[in-house]
A = this chain, B = another copy of it.
Amino acid sequence: MKLKRNERVGALIKILSDHPNEIFTLSYFTNRFNAAKSTISEDIVVAKKMMEDLSLGKIETIAGAAGGVKYIPFTSRENNRVVLEDICKKLAESNRIVPGTFLYMADIIYNPALVRKMGEIFASQFIGETVDYVVTVETKGIPIALMTANALNVPLIILRRDSKVTEGSTVSINYVSGSTGKIQTMSISKRAIKNGANVIIIDDFMKAGGTAKGMIDMMKEFEANVKGIGVMIATSEPESKLVDQYIPLLILQNVDEKKGRILVYPNENLV
């Protein structure tokens, strides 16, 4: 089947954006579209320019023997503002407050469209970095972490709260929750992480940073380099967390149970 340019451009964009950060050779497209290399190269130029003009992400060509073309999900500050302000608006609904001044968030953190966008924002912060794994701890951070891993095209690692028989030999550590002072355990199969890997840590919520600190300690067991930490929401208090560098999407400043007021705003470095 011979395709027209507009069909080839559409198909190329579909295939690339279904596989973020995966390199496709030009030969893949010459075979699949039954077209010459020079034709495909022109298609890529068209696709690349359009994607940038409309802020739909980046298409990058890689030269050399291992070369080809790939799609990089990249979110602009303007896009981040729209996404994060929308989430803030949802989070500020007073009926989210549950006893103990916690916020009910399951409808947000388990909403595929929202977590996909959050994952793309996180992935955009690590463009150009080598990342081998995205690491999270069960349960609530998993969807955001998975979508970050999807955008970066790397495996997700889920640390468990207990060690399961189906994991084979495991590494376990104890850590202290920064906010409650309670000792907790996390564990992971020994074979889950290659030694010396580059990882980023993603979680849904950070108060004192004890869980993030626990994940960093766990990564030390694998001599992994933590290249960054991303959390959906960080509380503004305590200001001093147990970890130094982290990227919150949103800052939760106050939950006033009596007045039913929730004060949350986007991280201004992202918007």
Contact = CB atoms under 8 A, between A and B. Distances in A.
Given A1-B53, A153-B112, A191-B104, A14 B11 contact: no
A14 B147 CA distance: 17
Looking at chain A's contact residues, the main secondary structure is: helix
A6 B5 contact: yes
Interface string A130-148: 0000000011001100110
A207 to B, nearest CB: 12
Given A98-B167, A116-B150, 8 more contacts: A3-B50, A7-B46, A7-B53, A11-B56, A14-B57, A110-B158, A112-B147, A112-B155
A196 to B, nearest CB: 18
Contacts of A103: 166
Contacts of A229: none
Interface string A29-66: 00010000000000000110111011011000000000
B9 A104 contact: no
A10 interface: yes
Interface string A161-196: 000011110000000000000000000010110000
B19 A113 contact: yes
A99 interface: yes
Contact of A14 (B13, B115, B143): B13
A185 B105 CA distance: 22
Interface residues of A, number: 64
A17 interface: yes
Nearest to A53: B1
Contacts of A1: 53
A15 interface: yes
A71 to B, nearest CB: 9
B111 A155 contact: yes
A168 B53 CA distance: 45
* A49, A57, A143: most-surrounded residue (chain B CB, <10 A): A143
Given A56-B14, A106-B158, A22 B113 contact: yes
Nearest to A98: B168
A160 interface: yes
Nearest to A100: B165
Contacts of A212: none
Given A50-B7, A106-B192, A139-B160, A98 B166 contact: yes
Contacts of A166: 98, 100, 102-105
A18 interface: yes
Contacts of A17: 14, 17-18
Contacts of A12: 10
